[in-house]
A and B are shown apart, each in its own frame.
Chain A
Amino acid sequence: MGLRVQPGIIGCAIRPVIASRDRSLEEIIYETAQLALKDAGLTINDIDGIAVGSNDQFDGRSISVMMASGSVGGVDRDIMSTPSASEHAFILGALRVATGQFRTQLIVSWSPTEVSSMPEAQRLGTDPYFHRALPLDELSAHALQASALESVVPGARAAAQAVTAKNRAQGQAAYPAPPMTPDAGALRWPLTPSMTSAPVTGAVAMVLACPEFIAERGITNVAWLQGMGWATEAGFLGDRDLTTAPALDAAVKQAYAMAGITDPASAFGVVEITDASPYAELLAYEALGLCARDEWEARTTDGTFSVGGKLPINPSGGALTWNPVFCTGLIRIAEVAQQVRGKAGAHQVPHVTRGLAHAGSGFAMMYQAAVILGQEARA
């Protein structure tokens, strides 16, 4: 299955950590959207529609797109919101371009840390009938998945520790200035504090356009959407087998069919995975067809997935380095887009012609998406 009109990414702005409080949230969103437009060489007057992804509990504003509309150019202009996941804003925008009814889309997502307790804000996402009385936030859900995986995969803990070390080292190299070290996450056994990072404020924006617009403007540095798929797991963790990722399996099948990928282990120059925990990254390896679980320990300790290795995974450092919780999925897509466009900065991988982004979010990766971007207009 292909898209009738193939979207291309022509501008990105990635801000994985914003430490200063010298801007309000609306000002951060405004600056990030402007940076993406500048990267594309456009102004807001070139944009047909806007898709944003935001989380009301984190923002402290209900229907937070209402306050954000002005920051992204949504006044007197088409704008829609996806509170389910930041990556869903990308999917929505891409599908709108693919309809042929929109020539351009601006995609924006953000994740502040202004709430007194991120765990409590996330806990509000559970159902009020059976789960609200448990200390269940996203980190607890990732820990539950980790405990389940450790029980069925020998060596999973050693592999998770290797993934943590890899991503942290790559993150320090990717974003060396200003010199900052992420705070450790909380202890949620078997996740130790060193295995995750505390939430930070971040934001990301992208500009999509149709081939006709890209040709008219003479834009040549494009990350073309070659394939994408997405799916959702059951809402109750007890209904799921946490040692598997059936939603990601379904998303990958859809994305690879669209892009014509038959041998994923050799198809990509770079991969970005939503490593909300190192175990989430491991589970994605298998679902993405990059590494079976019985090889996790061997492949994570022999450098295969490190920068300089056979297939660099998370050269940005991933969410294990900087963790703006709600927008990490969209950041993974933007990171791959910049790698394909040769604009990834300090962590640019040489000769990337095609890359894969895994965007996952929610409780133990309830929402899953796979996005394939490349330099070729058609896969």
Chain B
Amino acid sequence: MELLGRQEVWNITYDHALGETASTFYTLIRDEAAIYGRRIAGSNKVMVPPRSFSDETLEPTGEWVKVGPGGRIEAFTMVYEAFKNLPPPPYAFGYVLLDGADTALGGFFKGIDLTDPEAAAAKLKIGTRVVATFAAERKGEMMDFWFELEG
């Protein structure tokens, strides 16, 4: 028999509140081209990206600490399929432990030819030094910065 389907497309918009902490993080990226973390109260641990509390200890964070722009790659991957609301693929992204931070920040790696994944992977080896790089025109969002190989 003929089996039918029913296709649906939903287009719902969410307006998420970022709160004071994430708002400050992105405002500083936009206005100062710098990345800041937050120190957990009673600890030397600096959380990047910043959050208003540690979900490990449930202690609040307070002091803003400038981190980076240098850091080391903690994990990476390369993606060859398109994702919505992102630039065209391929993408290289992963996590970088910025100098002065205790948790790693997710972001894109740019300036590397991803045509040959194995060759690109050699350049993105874990532990490789990278530097946070900022767009000339910044909007206060994730796409304002990315990581490039240091030097």
Q: Measured between C-beta atoms, what is the minimum distance from A240 to chain B in Å?
A: 9
Known contacts A134-B108, A140-B77: A234-B55 contact under CB 8 Å: yes
Q: Measured between C-beta atoms, what is the minimum distance from B93 to chain A in Å?
A: 5
Residue of B nearest to A123 (CB): B83
Q: Which of these binds chain A: B62-70, B99-107, B129-137?
A: B99-107
Complex CA gap A25/B16 in Å reads 31
Tell me whether B16 and A129 are in contact (CB under 8 A). yes
Taking the complex as formed, is A238 at the interface, i.e. its CB lies under 8 A from any CB of chain B? Answer: yes
Known contacts A133-B143, A238-B105, A239-B56: A147-B76 contact under CB 8 Å: yes
Query: Looking at chain A, what size class is its interface with the partner chain?
Result: 35 or more
Q: Measured between C-beta atoms, what is the minimum distance from B130 to chain A in Å?
A: 14
Residue of B nearest to A239 (CB): B103
Complex CA gap A152/B22 in Å reads 33
Q: Which of these binds chain B: A47-55, A104-112, A186-194?
A: A186-194
Tell me whether A134 and B16 are in contact (CB under 8 A). no
Taking the complex as formed, is B78 at the interface, i.e. its CB lies under 8 A from any CB of chain A? Answer: yes
Complex CA gap A36/B122 in Å reads 50
Which A residues from 176 to 204 make CB contacts under 8 A with B?
Answer: 186-191
Taking the complex as formed, is B95 at the interface, i.e. its CB lies under 8 A from any CB of chain A? Answer: yes
Taking the complex as formed, is A242 at the interface, i.e. its CB lies under 8 A from any CB of chain B? Answer: yes
Query: 0/1 per residue, A309-328, Cβ < 8 Å to B?
Result: 00000000000000000000
Q: Measured between C-beta atoms, what is the minimum distance from A283 to chain B in Å?
A: 14
Taking the complex as formed, is A289 at the interface, i.e. its CB lies under 8 A from any CB of chain B? Answer: no
Checking A22, A133, A189, A235 against B77 with a beta-carbon cut-off of 8 angstroms, the contacting residue is A189
Taking the complex as formed, is B125 at the interface, i.e. its CB lies under 8 A from any CB of chain A? Answer: yes
Taking the complex as formed, is A60 at the interface, i.e. its CB lies under 8 A from any CB of chain B? Answer: yes
Tell me whether A21 and B55 are in contact (CB under 8 A). no
Tell me whether A144 and B55 are in contact (CB under 8 A). no
Q: Measured between C-beta atoms, what is the minimum distance from A26 to chain B in Å?
A: 13
Taking the complex as formed, is B148 at the interface, i.e. its CB lies under 8 A from any CB of chain A? Answer: no
- The interface residues of chain B lying within 8 Å CB-to-CB of A146 are 77
Taking the complex as formed, is A213 at the interface, i.e. its CB lies under 8 A from any CB of chain B? Answer: no
Known contacts A234-B55, A238-B103, A242-B75: A130-B83 contact under CB 8 Å: no
- The interface residues of chain A lying within 8 Å CB-to-CB of B5 are 21
- The interface residues of chain A lying within 8 Å CB-to-CB of B143 are 133
Interface centre among A21, A22, A239 (most CB of B within 10 A): A239
Complex CA gap A135/B83 in Å reads 6
Checking A120, A186, A238 against B80 with a beta-carbon cut-off of 8 angstroms, the contacting residue is A186
Complex CA gap A263/B79 in Å reads 41
Taking the complex as formed, is A143 at the interface, i.e. its CB lies under 8 A from any CB of chain B? Answer: yes
Tell me whether B84 and A143 are in contact (CB under 8 A). no
Q: Measured between C-beta atoms, what is the minimum distance from A303 to chain B in Å?
A: 29
Q: Measured between C-beta atoms, what is the minimum distance from B145 to chain A in Å?
A: 11
Q: Measured between C-beta atoms, what is the minimum distance from A234 to chain B in Å?
A: 6
Known contacts A120-B84, A131-B106, A237-B106: A189-B117 contact under CB 8 Å: yes
Taking the complex as formed, is B81 at the interface, i.e. its CB lies under 8 A from any CB of chain A? Answer: yes
Tell me whether B141 and A133 are in contact (CB under 8 A). yes
Tell me whether A238 and B95 are in contact (CB under 8 A). yes
Tell me whether A148 and B106 are in contact (CB under 8 A). no
Tell me whether B75 and A133 are in contact (CB under 8 A). no
Tell me whether A136 and B3 are in contact (CB under 8 A). no
Interface centre among B48, B78, B79 (most CB of A within 10 A): B79
Tell me whether B81 and A134 are in contact (CB under 8 A). no
Tell me whether A129 and B106 are in contact (CB under 8 A). no
Residue of A nearest to B47 (CB): A239
Checking A21, A119, A190, A242 against B3 with a beta-carbon cut-off of 8 angstroms, the contacting residue is A21
Known contacts A135-B93, A144-B95: A130-B79 contact under CB 8 Å: no
Known contacts A119-B83, A130-B49, A242-B75: A136-B56 contact under CB 8 Å: no
Residue of B nearest to A140 (CB): B77
Chain A contact residues, CB within 8 Å of chain B: 21-22, 60, 117, 119-120, 123, 128-131, 133-136, 140, 143-148, 150-152, 186-191, 234-239, 242
Q: Can you name 9 A-B residue pairings with CB atoms under 8 Å?
A: A133-B141, A135-B79, A135-B86, A144-B95, A188-B78, A189-B120, A190-B77, A190-B121, A238-B103
Top 5 closest pairs, chain A to chain B, by CB: A151-B126, A238-B104, A133-B142, A143-B77, A144-B75
